[in-house]
Structure 1
Amino acid sequence: MATVQAVNDELRAKLNNIQVELQQEKNKVSRLERDKSQELRSEHHRASVAMTELKTKLHEEKQKELAVTRETLLRQHEMELMRVIKIKDGEIHRLNGLVLTLRDGSVDK
């Protein structure tokens, strides 16, 4: 009976050691899960920051392109306006010449 008691005590000691090891492993797994979760949050934050920076950069580039396009269109409009003014000025000179010719013709009669 003493041997059964000794074996039983030995098994209890082994069970106790296994339970301690199990608890240690559970603690390791829990710590690893916390670390992984923290790493994922950190990575998500870095990605969010990078996304914000890219959006800002894209917006700035878009604004620059719009400014260049606006300036180009403004120059084209000014050139077109100058061309129309030149044409109209030529028509005015031609019509003034005709008016003078008609006046000279009516004075001669």
Structure 2
Amino acid sequence: QQQQQQQQQAAAGGDGGQMTEFSIALPAACAQYIVGTNMVNIPTLSKFGAALTLLRDNISGDVVFSYKGSPSAVAESRTLLMHGMNMFGVEIRRQQALLQEQLQA
């Protein structure tokens, strides 16, 4: 039934028929963190293809993630990247706290 709804949406020019895209440049360390965690198993992230290949080559600088698809798929990808960036931020703050403790010891 879900497939039927999607076909009807596409025929009606709904979500299925529209294409949208976004891209964002992330520091390589952040991108590598996102790819290196199990988030890489989420299908939308694997569609970032080229960026993942670049990361395997240990590049430095920014990695541009770009994604094109239906509005819902793009929204899912954005949400996934935001989650990854948040987790990276948490990890950085944890490391900062450890470093601060060592400096005060």
Q: Name the TM tier (shorter chain).
A: 0.3 to 0.5
Q: Which has the higher strand share?
A: 2
Structure 1 length-normalised TM = 0.38
Q: Which has the higher helix share?
A: 1
Structure 2 length-normalised TM = 0.39
